[in-house]
Amino acid sequence: MITAKSLLRTTAIAAAILCTAASSAFATSWRGWNIHAPGYANTVALEDFAKAVGEKTGGKLTLKVYNNAVLGDQPDAIEQTRNGALDFGNFNLGPMGPVVPITNVLSLPFVFSSEEQMHHVMDGKVGQEFADAIAKKGLIVLSWFDSGARSMFNDKHPIKTPADVKGLKIRVMDNQLYVDMVDAMGGNATPMPMGSIYQSITTGVLDGAENNYPSYTEFNLYQVAKYYSTTDHLIIPECLCVAKKSWDALDPKTQDIVRQAALAASKEQRELWAKASEKAKQDAIKAGAKINEIKDLKPFQDAMKPVYAKFYKKYPDLQKVVEEIRAVK
Ligand code: GTR
C-alpha cells in the first residue's frame, strides 16, 4: 500500500538520484598521484595546475593532488592511471619502461648529453613519438617535467671511477635497465620504492642509491649516505599524464583548458626545478654531505657498453630512436 510516508521517501530518493546525476553531468573531480612532498618543485607546479583547471572551468572540473605517494608506489600508480582508477599524475619515465617499451630509451645511461638537450628532444618531434606510444597504453602526456641528472651516493666512500661501485648495494627504480647499469660497474642493484631507501641504508640492506639533489635532500638521504658523486648517469624526463579514459570524457574546450594549464605547469616546474636543484645541493653540503665532482665521465660512459649491447639485442628497432635523440643538439 502506498502511504504518504513511503511516497515521500520514494520521492526523496528519486530526487537524490536525479541530483547526483545532474551534478555529475556538470561537475567532475579528478584524483592525481604525486610522489613528492608539499613545497617540492613538482608539487607546487601540480597544485597550480589543479588550481588553474578548477578556476578556468568555473568549477566544472576540479582536481585534487595526493602528495607523498599516499595513493601507492609509482609502478602501481602508473597502472592505476592507465586503467582509469586514478585520473592524472606526475610520472618519471623510468618506471614507465616496463609498460611502454620505447620509453626505455630514456633510461639508457648517458643517452642525453645535457639537461638542455633533453628539453630540446622532448619538446620536439622525438618527444611526440614517446607521447604517441604512451597514449597507446592509456595515458595522455600533457607536458614534460624535469628531474635533473641522477648521481650515485652511498655511506662507504666517494665514487671516482666505475671500479668504486664494485660490491656496493645500490637501490634503483623499477626497471631492468638500471639493474644492468649497476651490474656493469660491478655493484648489486635492488629495485625498491623511494620511501624505503633511508631505512634500508640504516639497516645495511643497502649501501646507497642514485638520484638528483632535490630527492637526495627531500628524503633526508644525506643523513645516511653522505658520499654523493656526480656520476650524472641518467637524465630522465617526467610527464604530467592524464588517464585516457578521463581525458576522453572531456569536451574539446575543457581538454584545451587542461592542456594549456599543463603546459604552464611544465614551464613553472622547470624554473622551480633549476633553483631547487642548486638549493638542495647547498643544503646537502651544509648538512655534511661530501660532494665529489667527477670531471671526466668517459670511464663511466665506456662502462655502459654492455648495457647498450644487451638493450639493442632485446630491442633492435629502438637503436634508431637513440640515434634520433643523439642527432638533436
Ligand atoms: C625522483 C622522481 C620520482 C621517483 C624517484 C625515485 O627523482 O622525481 O618520480 O622516480 O626519483 O627514484 O623513485
pLDDT tier for residue 244 given thresholds of 50, 70 and 90: very high
Q: Say whether both 228 and 184 belong to one domain.
A: yes
What average pLDDT does range 228-239 have in this prediction? 98
pLDDT exceeds cutoff 70 at 184: yes
Which residues span the domain enclosing 86? 28-145+237-279
Cell numbers at 172, concatenated? 634503483
What average pLDDT does range 229-237 have in this prediction? 98
Q: Say whether both 38 and 114 belong to one domain.
A: yes
Nearest CA to ligand 1 atom 5: 194
Q: Say whether both 200 and 311 belong to one domain.
A: yes
CATH number, domain with residue 213: 3.40.190.170
For the chain, give the mean pLDDT. Answer: 94
**Beta strand pairing call for 61-66 and 28-33:** parallel
CA of 95 to the centre of ligand 1 (A): 9
Q: Say whether both 101 and 222 belong to one domain.
A: no
Q: Say whether both 274 and 296 belong to one domain.
A: no
Helix and strand counts by DSSP (H, E) for the chain:
13, 11
| Span 43-54, pLDDT tens digits | 999 999 999 999
Q: Say whether both 180 and 228 belong to one domain.
A: yes
| Span 76-90, pLDDT tens digits | 999 999 999 999 999
Q: Is residue 246 in contact with ligand 1, taking CB distance under 6 Å?
A: no
End-to-end CA distance of the chain: 80
Q: Say whether both 195 and 222 belong to one domain.
A: yes
Q: Tell whether 19 is covered by a domain.
A: no
**92 or 6, higher pLDDT:** 92
Q: Is residue 215 in contact with ligand 1, taking CB distance under 6 Å?
A: yes
* Whole-number pLDDT of residue 249: 97
Q: Tell whether 9 is covered by a domain.
A: no
Nearest CA to ligand 1 atom 3: 92
pLDDT tier for residue 1 given thresholds of 50, 70 and 90: very low
Q: Can you tell me the distance from the alpha carbon of 278 to that of 227, in angstroms, rounded to the nearest whole number?
A: 17
| Span 199-223, pLDDT tens digits | 999 999 999 999 999 999 999 999 9
Q: Say whether both 214 and 88 belong to one domain.
A: no
- Position 285: which residue type? I
CA of 263 to the centre of ligand 1 (A): 21
CA of 137 to the centre of ligand 1 (A): 21
Cell numbers at 117, concatenated? 638537450
pLDDT exceeds cutoff 80 at 9: no
Query: What are φ and ψ of residue 291, in 5° steps?
Result: -90, 125
Q: Tell whether 136 is covered by a domain.
A: yes
- Position 185: which residue type? M
Q: Say whether both 140 and 52 belong to one domain.
A: yes
Q: Can you tell me the distance from the alpha carbon of 95 to that of 178, in angstroms, rounded to the nearest whole number?
A: 10
For the chain, percent of residues with pLDDT exceeding 70 = 92
Q: Say whether both 171 and 259 belong to one domain.
A: no
Is-contact 94 105, C-beta < 8 A? no
Q: Tell whether 53 is covered by a domain.
A: yes
pLDDT tier for residue 73 given thresholds of 50, 70 and 90: very high
Based on its alpha-carbon atoms, the radius of gyration of the chain, rounded to whole angstroms, reads 23
Cell numbers at 326, concatenated? 643523439
Q: Say whether both 70 and 168 belong to one domain.
A: no
pLDDT exceeds cutoff 70 at 198: yes
Q: Say whether both 243 and 228 belong to one domain.
A: no
In ligand 1, the atom with minimum distance to the C-alpha of 215 is 7
Is-contact 205 188, C-beta < 8 A? no
CA of 246 to the centre of ligand 1 (A): 24
What average pLDDT does range 237-258 have in this prediction? 98
Number of domains observed in the structure of the chain: 2
* Whole-number pLDDT of residue 250: 98
Q: Can you tell me the distance from the alpha carbon of 90 to that of 241, in angstroms, rounded to the nearest whole number?
A: 6
| Span 137-164, pLDDT tens digits | 999 999 999 999 999 999 999 999 999 9
